[in-house]
């Protein structure tokens, strides 16, 4: 049975008080990730907003052990933790590697790809705020076309992002999922499922960032929901090759239609300089991706 607000565990592993911004979707997502793992996990994290959330030694806001690793080596760090646990006869303790989009799509991709190709037994969660946010919003391989960032200040980024979830699926791993912090129960259920599977499990979690995307701190959930309602972000999972839409994306596919992507874009200051041609290009990209997902879902 899917988790709901009544049967969700009340136990917390992310403790009150940390240094992320108000309205940070990463904080909400991470809270549910740790709940799903019941706090029984060793985490490895490179430099990012997640290290800020964890806190600086000897102060921490989480009740799980964490290894801070250099930027490029999160996949290698996860491999080492798995090997160490095996040597201690503690293979059953899950290893979670988690990094931002900069640490995953760009700087950590080779170590992650290598660790995945070796079929390392860990969960990797990329939280995606579509930029290098901890250092003031530089453009990353996940920043969308037209988005203003610290390194694309006027015209916005001139390229489309790479589809990291598809790249990870191409490694032939047993579980891949796309989730969104605005749908925490869907996220929670996906982490629970990932926990029960052996091998490399990859999850992409969409995490709106109020200061980086330039929307009010109070609108995080609404922006996350708009992303799904417009098809900008699609909720799905691929288990041993079987593709399935989940949660709100599944409902839209069954009995609804997508809202125009403009509804999502116009709420955010980072898109204020988009041209009409770019909005059209973004809409076409969303349409094509949504159709691809509908076709895959129909084949199952
Ligand atoms: C090798 C190296 N280069 C640069 C930095 C500076 N740095 C720290 S955090 C960060 C941004 C990380 O971006 P991302 O991985 O997207 O995570 P986010 O900050 O968005 O959570 C950068 C560039 C560093 N710590 N190490
Ligand atoms: S910059 Fe964005 S991702 Fe980082 S702590 Fe603030 S809201 Fe969260």
Q: Is 185:235 a contact under the CB 8 Å cutoff?
A: no
Q: Can you give the residue ranges of every domain in the chain?
A: 25-299
For atom 3 of ligand 2, the residue with the nearest CA is 209
Q: What is the pLDDT of residue 284?
A: 98
CA of 107, nearest ligand number: 1
The pLDDT tens digits of the residues spanning 99-128 come to 999 999 999 999 999 999 999 999 999 999
Which pLDDT does position 5 carry in this prediction?
Answer: 85
Reported as a single tens digit per residue, the pLDDT across 224-256 is 999 999 999 999 999 999 999 999 999 999 998
Lowest mean pLDDT among 9-18, 46-55, 188-197, 235-244: 9-18
The reported pLDDT for the residue numbered 1 is 79
Does the structure show a pLDDT above 90 at 150?
A: yes
- Select from 36, 124, 41, 40 the least CA-distant residue to 78: 124
Instruction: Cite the beta strand spans of the chain per DSSP E.
Output: 42-45, 66-68, 95-99, 123-128, 175-180, 201-206, 236-239, 242-245
Give the pLDDT confidence of 63-89 residue by residue, as tens digits: 999 999 999 999 999 999 999 999 999
The pLDDT of 147-166, averaged and rounded, is 97
pLDDT of res. 115: 98
Ligand 1 mean position, distance from CA 247 (Å): 31
What percentage of residues in the chain have a pLDDT greater than 70? 100
Q: What is the pTM of this model?
A: 0.98
Tell me, which fold does domain 25-299 have in CATH?
Answer: Rossmann fold (3.40.50)
Strand order through the sheet with 242-245: 66-68, 42-45, 95-99, 123-128, 201-206, 175-180, 236-239, 242-245
| Distance in Å, CA 167 to ligand 2 centroid | 25
Q: What's the confidence (pLDDT) of residue 16?
A: 87
Q: Tell me which residues have their CB closer than 6 angstroms to ligand 1.
A: 47-50, 71, 99-103, 129, 132-135, 140
Pocket-testing residue among 99, 100, 134, 135, ligand 2, by greatest number of atoms within 8 A of Cβ: 134
122-144 mean pLDDT: 98
Does the pLDDT value for residue 219 go beyond 90?
yes
Q: Over range 36-45, report the average pLDDT.
A: 97
Instruction: Tokens 């090759």: give the residue.
Output: 241
58: preceding bond cis by omega (within 30 degrees): yes
């Amino acid at each position: 049975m899917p988790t709901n607000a009544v049967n969700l565990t009340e136990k917390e592993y992310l403790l009150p008080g940390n240094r992320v911004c108000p309205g940070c979707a990463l904080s909400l997502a991470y809270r549910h990730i740790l709940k799903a793992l019941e706090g029984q996990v060793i985490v490895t994290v490179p430099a990012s907003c997640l290290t800020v959330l964890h806190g600086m030694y000897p102060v921490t806001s989480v009740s799980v052990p964490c290894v801070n690793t250099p930027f490029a080596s999160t996949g290698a760090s996860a491999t080492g933790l798995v090997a160490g646990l095996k040597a201690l006869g503690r293979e059953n303790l899950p290893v979670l590697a988690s990094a931002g989009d900069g640490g995953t799509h760009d700087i950590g991709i080779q170590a992650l790809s290598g660790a995945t190709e070796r079929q390392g037994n860990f969960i990797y969660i990329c939280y995606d705020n579509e930029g290098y946010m901890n250092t003031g919003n530089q453009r990353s391989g996940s920043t969308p076309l037209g988005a203003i960032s610290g390194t694309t200040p006027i015209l916005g980024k001139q390229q489309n992002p790479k589809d990291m979830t598809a790249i990870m699926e191409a490694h032939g791993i047993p579980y891949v999922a796309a989730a969104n912090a605005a749908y925490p129960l869907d996220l929670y259920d996906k982490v629970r499922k990932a926990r029960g599977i052996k091998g490399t499990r990859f999850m992409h979690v969409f995490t709106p960032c109020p200061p980086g995307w330039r929307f009010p701190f109070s609108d995080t959930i609404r922006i996350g929901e708009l992303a799904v309602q417009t098809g900008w972000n699609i909720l799905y999972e691929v288990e041993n090759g079987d593709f399935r839409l989940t949660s709100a994306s599944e409902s839209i596919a069954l009995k609804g239609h997508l809202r125009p992507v403009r509804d999502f874009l116009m709420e955010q200051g980072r898109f204020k300089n988009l041209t009409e041609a770019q909005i059209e290009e973004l809409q076409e990209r969303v349409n094509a991706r949504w159709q691809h997902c509908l076709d895959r879902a129909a084949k199952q």
